[in-house]
């Protein structure tokens, strides 16, 4: 899967910036960054929508700032 995505990004960069390898690398890097940025608002909205269709109750909880990741996860679950 990773190879497929990489080749697609490379192909897009070659179309956008033909003949300029350094520009293609910069374009590909920026494209990867943009793809991997999550819109958590949209994610929460989609989870809420899908769960309501299935009748699953959702409770949104803010994660505490202090504590280890394990302690934070336990606090959210309990």
Other C-beta atoms within 10 Å of 12: how many?
Answer: 14
pLDDT band with cut points at 50, 70 and 90 for residue 68: confident
pLDDT band with cut points at 50, 70 and 90 for residue 54: very high
Which of 15, 35, 8, 13 has its CA nearest to residue 26?
13
pLDDT band with cut points at 50, 70 and 90 for residue 53: very high
Q: State how far the Cα of 15 lies from the Cα of 9, in Å rounded to an integer.
A: 10
Q: State how far the Cα of 14 lies from the Cα of 25, in Å rounded to an integer.
A: 9
- Domain extents for the chain? 2-77
Residue 7 CA to chain centroid, in angstroms? 19
Q: What is the pTM of this model?
A: 0.44
Give 7-32 pLDDT, tens digit per residue: 888 898 999 899 899 999 999 988 88
């Amino acid at each position: 899967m990773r190879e497929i995505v990489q080749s697609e990004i490379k192909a897009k960069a070659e179309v956008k910036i033909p003949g300029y390898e350094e520009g293609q690398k910069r374009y590909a890097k920026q494209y990867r960054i943009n793809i991997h940025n999550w819109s958590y608002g949209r994610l929460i909205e989609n989870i809420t929508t899908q769960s309501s269709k299935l009748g699953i109750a959702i409770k949104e909880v803010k994660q505490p700032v202090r504590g280890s990741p394990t302690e934070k996860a336990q606090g959210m679950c309990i």
